[in-house]
Structure 1
Amino acid sequence: MKTVAVVLLIFCFGLSTVENTKCYECRQSNAQSCEGKEVDCPKGSSCMTISTKTGLNHTYYAIQKRCSMNMKCNHSMYAYASGDVYFDLSIDCCEGDLCNSGGVIIKNTTYDYNGPECPVCSSVDSLDICEAVSTTVCRNKTDYCNYFTGHLERPDGVKTQFTARGCMSETSCSYDFSQIVGLKVSDVKAGCKGYKHNPKPNPEPEN
């Protein structure tokens, strides 16, 4: 009887180890890849890659690899004021040992530009909301006009005050900025849902 119990324990232990996944873990600012160390993830966890692409009159990339644990997998978010001032974040998960071995992954790079028309502007060294100098049509119908102010540390380490107005994806509206890689923000004030926006100009007639 004792022999049977020992065999069952060994069998159960073997099953539990099989369920654990090995993933790469690392974090790198101002880079498109990082050398990850191998870690054992909790049961039920996937391997995750968090990628960011930021435009602040220069393009910055940053990447983090980790176990997904309880974080939401496979989604993206963005905000932008112009072609030179923007932020894109993609969270990608995969199944299997060490599957998160690649570099930066930026998803959803093509858009319909059928969203609301929003005022846009951006400035540094100020926390006052900037005055709009033009407008832009947002990428998707579910986007919102937004404003953002806060202290900003760029991936290259330069710190400044920052303010911007433009478009923001619906997922970004409820984002707490905790998953941003490389771009550190603090003292954030932002408006999104509930911030009045105008429909796209000259909408196509419905059939």
Structure 2
Amino acid sequence: MIRSFILSLTILCAVSWTGLALQCLECLEANGETCEGVSVQCPNSTECMVVSQLFRIRDTVYHSIKKGCNPWILCNKPLYVSNFNTKEKRIYVQCCTEDDCNTDGYQMPPLKTEHSGVECPTCFEKGLKECTSENTVKCVYEEDKCFNYIGKFIDPGNQVEEESFKGCISPMGCILKFDALIGVQEIKTDTFECS
């Protein structure tokens, strides 16, 4: 009797636990603005998301999109904005709370150009040594911190880049660093400093 009660309670808890978790579409397109997605079961206390990313190096722009379960806290606002003379990275996360609700496509809000009141040193060089420059850039909107980065990436065109750059970044960018990038994959970080 007790054994069957415990078994029934265990089954009820398992059903309740899975009932609380969302199903979300999951897919990734490293160099494009659409992906269809397959439905997956998410962990409890997560939401469905669509992550849109813009990555620009000089005149080449890559768009990336990812759908899945949201492991982050912030939704429906730009999480991370960094731009500097030759490079720009922006990420926007949309979230929703119904099964397979993340059907929306790529969306990147226009970059607000109001000056944040902060100016940062700016430079960009190939290679794994710190770049130097006398130039500064006026940071915009939510970018109220300066950063210094030295590391190695693979871009969406499968080009491996060793580079050093400085510029403006948002506070969330300092927290997430480059771990949030979709189309661009970080291979190695030698330096990441925010100030």
Same fold (TM over 0.5): yes
Does structure 2 conserve the Cα–Cα contact (< 8 Å) formed by 1:33 and 1:102? Answer: no
Give RMSD over aligned pairs. Answer: 2.7
Structure 2 unaligned segments of length 5 or more: list them: none
**% identical aligned pairs:** 26
What corresponds to 1:143 in structure 2? 144
TM-score by length of 2: 0.82
Of 167-176 and 99-108, more deviation after overlay is shown by 99-108
Of 104-113 and 147-156, more deviation after overlay is shown by 104-113
1:123 to 1:158, Cα distance in 2 relative to 1, 3 A: same
Shift of 1:133: 5.4
What corresponds to 1:155 in structure 2? 156
1:80 to 1:142, Cα distance in 2 relative to 1, 3 A: closer
Structure 1 unaligned segments of length 5 or more: list them: 194-207
Considering only CA atoms, is the larger Rg found in Structure 1 or Structure 2? 1
Q: 1:93 aligns with which of 92, 95, 99?
A: 95
Q: Which amino acid aligns with 1:19?
A: L
1:170 to 1:108, Cα distance in 2 relative to 1, 3 A: farther
Could you list the runs of 4 or more consecutive aligned residues of structure 1 that deviate by over 3 angstroms after TM superposition? 8-18
How many residue pairs align between the two structures?
A: 187
* 2:94 aligned counterpart, secondary structure: strand
TM-score by length of 1: 0.78
Q: Which amino acid aligns with 2:22?
A: T
Q: Which amino acid aligns with 1:113?
A: H
Residues in 2 aligned to 1:100 and 1:87: alpha-carbon distance in whole angstroms: 23
1:11 to 1:149, Cα distance in 2 relative to 1, 3 A: closer
Q: From the two aligned structures, give the one with the greater strand fraction.
A: 2
Does structure 2 conserve the Cα–Cα contact (< 8 Å) formed by 1:73 and 1:92? Answer: no
